[in-house]
Amino acid sequence: MAFLQGKLPCFCVLILCMAVLVSSHNRYYTSPSVPRLTDAFPRVPISNGFSKAFGGSNIQVINGSMATLALDKSSGSGLASVNKYHYGFFSAAIKLPAGLTSGVVVAFYLSNADVFPHNHDEIDIELLGHDKRNDWVIQTNVYANGSVNTGREEKFYLWFDPTQQQHQYSIIWNNHHIVFLVDNIPVREFQHSGSFFPSKPMSVYATIWDASQWATHGGKYPVNYKYAPFRVSFAEMEMSGCISNPTGTVTSCSKNTPSSLDPIEGPEFVKLSNQQISALGWARSKLMFYSYCKDTSRFKVMPPECK
């Protein structure tokens, strides 16, 4: 410690600056106040509302209301909703795996690729693992009418450590817009303004899987199975909307919810409130670090909604 003699004040300042940088990098902000839409709808027991889609041995359902999904060398795992939905409000409380999770993707999304393999729709919340730190990334994406070659990704840092406890990740999907929310904070709104918009009934999925090819820094850091199994928990599942029958026609809509809110045409869902618009601006200014609408190297001609 002799080299520190006479230099302790400077050394302490350096440590303080490093701590500030780490805190800033982790972005542990206090989020704005917004309406708690997740309190408006009933929760669906996983044992009733979902079936095992793949990796059955890596899925554990606890008391019917919570599931842990695992990724190991043998397989990832996933759940699929029993019903298909045509618009609605969809939410899950998710606790992400801790530790080194490069290449790991946890997803909560809607898709109809099982029914329309060449012309499918998809609305994605994908949580991308990290290479060194606990700064998981949330990627949102929209596909419509089979346009899988043109993703519409936006990426955000989270403002909390998602491995410490469950946080709510939600999707509003109706004929007016798609809204992605984290802990009820809107982080992205995709408005229905043209032909590119998901329109066919979709299932709800909860999955964990190996995306080594692209998930962490473009595939630079693959999954390190030395740290496996990677376990994620899903709970507080909410799926309120129009349920479709096997022919694709709507059979019922959950408009008579306990709060009388309607995720299809209710005023709280077809348009963001001023409070939500302010929170959306906060999230996008502080946390968004990639938007396809600003990727001129990828798009020589921007998609029409970017204009």
Q: Could you tell me the fold of the domain covering 27-306?
A: Jelly Rolls (2.60.120)
In the chain, where are the structural domains located?
Answer: 27-306
Tell me the whole-structure pTM to 2 decimals: 0.88
Q: pLDDT digits over 166-187, tens only?
A: 999 999 999 999 999 999 999 9
SS (H, E, C) the chain: CHHHCCCHHHHHHHHHHHHHHHHHHHCCCCCCCCCCHHHCCCCCCHHHHEEEEECHHHEEEECCCEEEEEECCCCCEEEEECCEEEEEEEEEEEECCCCCCCCEEEEEEEECCCCCCCCCCEEEEEEECCCCCCCCEEEEEEECCCCCCCCCCEEEECCCCCCCCCEEEEEEECCCEEEEEECCEEEEEEECCCCCCCCCCEEEEEEEEECCCCCCHHHCCCCCHHHCCEEEEEEEEEEEEEEECCCCCEEEECCCCCCCCCCCCCHHHHCCCHHHHHHHHHHHHHCEEEEHHHCCCCCCCCCHHHC
* Predicted pLDDT at 193: 84
Catalytic residues: 122, 126
Q: Which segments of the chain have a pLDDT < 70?
A: 1-27, 133-134, 147-149, 246-260
* Predicted pLDDT at 18: 38
